[in-house]
Chain A
């Protein structure tokens, strides 16, 4: 018995030998230990992406001999901290994790982060296994500044989808909607305030609610700003249609108090079995399927964003990491960025349900296809969503103010205000802010 097992193990090693030798050769050619003994500080935004990085941090330290001091902070605090420290010229971190849909242009205009192109082109610093060309076109576009600089490497592409409660759908005798109009009709049908059940939930709180509206707007094949980032498209008939759809969904079919809901309140309501559909990012799947915290772990369904009248899209939001230009340990910091955005880490991220990988190779991995812990429906929804993904927020410097101004308009709509009036007012308020930002 023992001999047979030993024989089996030996033959496996022999079969795998060419691959191991190739891998070892590549590893030998690239010196991961070149900055051994140095220390880097990493600032992370609290998220499943950051959890993934910290969970595997020891592996990076073992691989490189570099000491990592990392900390996670909630995004509300980490975003301003990052910008203020970068602007001060003396950041306390050597690697920073941030959302490109929020901070890309502000860090780009400030020229605060190191351009990664020379690093990527340097074989002494970039492992041959890294394969930059493997990054998806959308992730590459998101990480590239208008002047061509690549000042961050993409960690994750967060596509939005619809989580739905199969039990509530079965009780209501409805199937998953294919269009936004069907989604509204379904949500209306499922809403029963007497039973405390509501058809739909999504972010209602200002600022966080804007991606919900822009998701609906993508169904009209339109974004909120022209591609050159100079003209607002926020009071067009398509934008007003999306505003009306947002108002109907949240005012008529969402739980009371949704005007104050961020993703966590939506998640809680959904996990308690009170809501039929929840529109949000793919990275929120793990707790929904965890029977310790979710009452509906056995009833969670995943659906692709329904189609709009003119297009079938879903929004995508990309996270990235970069190195402050003032960092004194750029070499070790770059090795960390390279490792954090490697094929293996991208695969780890998807396997933990933390979001979508920005790499194409992840979805060709046979283990992911067979053993993905969230089921085939989740994976199929994710893969389809990636094929229809478009930027969910405009690439402009004052994106936070954009989200606040239009977020207030959306909360007013939930309160009953007319979408056309609110969007025209918000557009007039924000236009001078955008114009002013273009001068800097």
Chain B
């Protein structure tokens, strides 16, 4: 037994010694495009680093400043608000759509194709189209609203409605992705539990609540994690449609750090924002993945 273990270890050691060099290119690539930029961002974040000026070491001053910067703190709040809405709605509607598309009905294939069209469009192009449709006087959306007797909306031209409107665009575009992931899960479900439940007299809702949802839960979690990461880093749509406005009403962390780095050319302060943002994303992702891991263990 001991001899076998020893042989296994020796074989593993020889294997590592013989083949380690094959991992070197990948390791170098990761170091160059992920590790180095991160270390450099950390380095910049502890400096007063302006594009056209000299660079000074300032320790944690940028981080302390961030904690007292109302504009940044509001950007964090807005990011969380936007992310929550832009995850919950697509996941909810996507789940419902997946259940609908799992059933057989005439022209199901065509309907599925139409449903996933928004996902295939270029975000910047559709953002430009939405911008035209949101115009308060000349946009088609207010024309439709007033045609059916409803009052016009200010859409992205008001602080009160700008984030819900951006969430609407995000939901329109990314619900199909959630639907596809969940539909994949539903397609792989076994038939037996449903037959058993039917014999036991379970209703449609009970089968959905106690059989479908638990079985496709891992797919829902994957979709939610993807949506959270996407929504947290949402930039193109907001940049094109509102550029963070009106005022700062839709200024998320991404928008603010872009403006700080490439509008104010304050790379040190923008780097500190990036680090805080990275921590935020890591914490949220770890919490979600931890939850999923816990469920798999149970």
Q: Please give the residue numbers on chain A whose beta carbons come within 8 Å of chain B beta carbons, in ascending order.
A: 76, 80, 83-84, 87, 106-107, 109-110, 196, 204-206, 255-261, 265, 268-269, 272, 274, 397-398, 400-401, 404, 407-408, 411-412, 414-415, 439-440
B188 at the interface (CB under 8 A from A): no
Cα(A242)–Cα(B50), bound, Å: 32
A268's nearest neighbour on chain B, judged by CB, is: B138
Taking a contact as CB atoms under 8 Å apart, the answer to whether A84 and B246 are in contact is no
Q: Say whether, besides A260-B156, A440-B52, A440-B54, A408 and B135 are in contact (CB < 8 Å).
A: no
Q: Say whether, besides A256-B157, A411-B247, A106 and B136 are in contact (CB < 8 Å).
A: no
**Which residues of A lie under 8 Å from residue B138 when comparing CB positions?**
268-269, 272, 274
Cα(A49)–Cα(B243), bound, Å: 25
Chief secondary structure at chain A's binding surface: helix
B212 at the interface (CB under 8 A from A): no
Taking a contact as CB atoms under 8 Å apart, the answer to whether A204 and B51 are in contact is no
Taking a contact as CB atoms under 8 Å apart, the answer to whether A269 and B137 are in contact is yes
A77's nearest neighbour on chain B, judged by CB, is: B262
The digit string for B123-136, where 1 denotes a CB below 8 A from any CB of A, is 00000000000011
* Other-chain residue from B157, B262, B263 in contact with A401 (beta carbon distance below 8 A): B263
The digit string for B23-54, where 1 denotes a CB below 8 A from any CB of A, is 00000000000000000000000000011111
A-B contact pairs, 29 of them (CB 8 A): A80-B262, A80-B265, A83-B52, A106-B52, A109-B52, A110-B51, A110-B52, A206-B248, A255-B136, A257-B135, A257-B137, A257-B154, A257-B158, A259-B245, A259-B247, A260-B156, A260-B157, A272-B137, A274-B137, A400-B264, A401-B263, A404-B264, A408-B247, A411-B246, A412-B247, A415-B159, A415-B247, A440-B50, A440-B54
Taking a contact as CB atoms under 8 Å apart, the answer to whether B264 and A259 are in contact is no
**Which residues of B lie under 8 Å from residue A440 when comparing CB positions?**
50, 52-54
Shortest A324–chain B CB gap in Å is: 14
The digit string for B144-183, where 1 denotes a CB below 8 A from any CB of A, is 0000000010111111001000000000000000000000
B285 at the interface (CB under 8 A from A): no
**Which residues of B lie under 8 Å from residue A84 when comparing CB positions?**
51, 262
**Which residues of B lie under 8 Å from residue A259 when comparing CB positions?**
157-159, 245-247
B242 at the interface (CB under 8 A from A): yes
Shortest B297–chain A CB gap in Å is: 48
Cα(A105)–Cα(B199), bound, Å: 79
Assuming A274-B138, A401-B263, A412-B247, what are 7 further A-B pairs, CB within 8 angstroms?
A256-B154, A257-B137, A259-B158, A261-B157, A269-B137, A411-B247, A415-B247
Shortest A430–chain B CB gap in Å is: 11
Q: Say whether, besides A255-B136, A259-B157, A404 and B263 are in contact (CB < 8 Å).
A: yes
Chain B interface category by residue count: 20 to 34
Q: Which of B257-287 contact A (CB under 8 A)?
A: 259, 262-265
* Other-chain residue from B54, B135, B248 in contact with A265 (beta carbon distance below 8 A): B135
**Which residues of A lie under 8 Å from residue B259 when comparing CB positions?**
404
Cα(A379)–Cα(B159), bound, Å: 40
B51's nearest neighbour on chain A, judged by CB, is: A87
Taking a contact as CB atoms under 8 Å apart, the answer to whether A106 and B54 are in contact is no
Taking a contact as CB atoms under 8 Å apart, the answer to whether B137 and A109 are in contact is no
Taking a contact as CB atoms under 8 Å apart, the answer to whether B245 and A255 are in contact is no
B247's nearest neighbour on chain A, judged by CB, is: A411
**Which residues of B lie under 8 Å from residue A80 when comparing CB positions?**
262-263, 265
